Structure formats: C-alpha cells, structure tokens
Amino acid sequence: DVMKELLGLRNLEEQVELKLGVKKVLVVAGNSDEDHWVKHELGRASVAELKAKREPSDVIAVMGGTTLAAVAEMMTPDVGMRDVTFVPARGGLGENVENQANTISAELATRAGAQYRLLHVPDQLSEDAYSSLVLEPSIGDILKLIKSARVVIHGIGEANTMASRRGSKSTFIEKIEREQAVAEAFGYYFNREGDIIHKQRTIGLQLDELDNKYVISVAGGESKAEAISAYMKYRPSDVLITDESAARRLLEIE
Ligand code: BG6
C-alpha cells in the first residue's frame, strides 16, 4: 500500500523475508517496546491476516501473551467467521488470566462472532498427571480439535523475560542462562542457533505438529529481534508480523 511505500516499510519487509527465509513478513511502523499502541498495530495487521486466510469451518489455535491479547482487542465482527472455532494451542504456561491462551481465544471468538472451546489444564503438570489427563474423554475431544487446527497464531518471547514472568525456579533460570537460551515460543526455549534447549510439559500442540498448518507469528520490539531470529531458524513461519524496530535490528544480526 501507498503508506508502506512512503515509509520504506515494503523494502524492509523484503529484506527481512530474505534474511529469515520467511515467505511473508509484514512490518508496522514503530517500536512496541516503547509504545503500547504499536502492539495494537501488530494486532490490526494480524486480524487482517486472519480474516484473509480463514475458511468457513476453520479451527484457529492461539497462544497467549500481551501481544496476542492486543491482537484479540483489535478483532471486529466477521460473518464469515460464524462457524470458525478458536481454541488455545496449548495448556496453561503460567500467565495472568488476561494473557492466557484460553482467555484470548474466547475474546477473539466473542469479538468476531465466532465459536470457541476452552482447555482446562493446570500450569505445572507431572508426568503422571499428564498421561492420565490426555485419557480423559472431555480433554481428548478438545485435544483432537486443537490438533486439527489449520491456522495457528502465536507470540515469541525473549527467553529470560518469559522464564521470570512464569515465576520459574532459579535452577531453571540458571539452566537457560548456561545454555544461552534467547527465545521462547509455545513453551519451548531456543538458543541463537534455533536449537530447542527446553520444553515445558503441557498438553496441546507440540512444536513438531505444526507441519501443514498455516503459522502466523506476531512479535515486535527491538528487544525481541534475537528471539525472532532464533525461532525462525528453528522453523520459519508462514507469516511474521513485526514492527519496524525489530525488523531493523533483525537485519543487523549475524
Ligand atoms: C506467552 C506464550 O503467553 O506469550 C509464549 O506462552 C510467548 O510462547 C509469550 O513467547 C509472548 O508474550 P508477549 O507478552 O511478549 O507477547
């Protein structure tokens, strides 16, 4: 669009596409580290992408975080989404209620005039609890729905920020420092090379189940450039929606 040409953002998008090997990169103006309204611009762009991609009976899986909460705030009614179902992509990962995937998925659905299903599982799951929970029929049903999602939309976090926001134990904080984790997405932690160094146990979509899904990653702010770069090395998404500051910083990463 004309505005993007004027701001030179289209050129930035192309450079980031090449750099990350991501087919489609959308860049909004600003720096979401500094200005909260930039998250809403990320949200506006994400909503447009979701609406452009949706099919009548889609299942759309969503993750949590403040960025995705801003995406939900930007959703507007869409008659074409009447039979779309929003679901959380994974179970609890230690967020405040307003930033939980369940809350965000319900909010997206309510604003769009779509359907939603909740997934109730505790944040900390022991091996035993995990294996018996997945056998519960009510959980099994929604798990099937989650795994069938055709579209997934998620945020990316900086590893240390996410570990402390989740109130992780000091032994875990030490581990991610020792192993130089820089990124977090879907409850997985990654180093600069994009190798998984830790996985949080919870039910729902696992990272190796994203194939054949349309994956939209939304993350902005200069502070997240390293994290975005690392995660895209693990697995380039179909679309990255980011902001100008993150994009410029991304181009400087070796
Ligand atoms: C969390 C997700 O809810 O939000 C993480 O579980 C993600 O995978 C994080 O990295 C992003 O949070 P924010 O607030 O930076 O958008």
Q: What is the pLDDT along the chain (254 residues), one digit of tens a residue?
A: 777 777 789 999 999 999 999 999 999 999 999 999 999 999 999 999 999 999 999 999 999 999 999 999 999 999 999 999 999 999 989 899 999 999 999 999 999 999 999 999 988 888 899 889 989 999 999 999 999 999 999 999 999 999 999 999 999 999 999 999 999 999 999 999 999 999 998 999 999 999 999 999 999 999 999 999 999 999 999 999 999 999 999 999 98
Instruction: Indicate whether residue 30 lines ligand 1 (CB < 6 A).
Output: no
Q: For residue 185, which atom of ligand 1 is closest to its CA?
A: 8
What's the pLDDT at 7?
A: 76
Looking at residue 179, the DSSP 8-state letter turns out to be T
Q: How many residues does the chain have?
A: 254
Cα 187 to ligand 1 centroid, rounded to whole Å: 9
Cα 19 to ligand 1 centroid, rounded to whole Å: 23
Instruction: Indicate whether residue 64 lines ligand 1 (CB < 6 A).
Output: yes
Residue 8, Ramachandran bin (φ over 0: left; ψ between -120 and 50: alpha; else beta): left
Whether the CB-CB separation of 203 and 180 falls below 8 Å is answered with: no
What's the pLDDT at 179?
A: 98
What's the pLDDT at 2?
A: 75
The amino acid that residue 107 corresponds to is E
| Atom 9, ligand 1: residue with shortest CA distance | 65
Q: Is the ipTM of this complex over 0.95?
A: yes
What's the pLDDT at 161?
A: 97
Q: Is the pTM of this model over 0.95?
A: yes
Cα 165 to ligand 1 centroid, rounded to whole Å: 10
Contacts of 202 (CB under 8 A, 6+ apart): 90, 91, 92, 93, 121, 123, 125, 130, 187
SS3 236: coil
């369940």: which residue's tokens? 102
Whether the CB-CB separation of 25 and 13 falls below 8 Å is answered with: yes
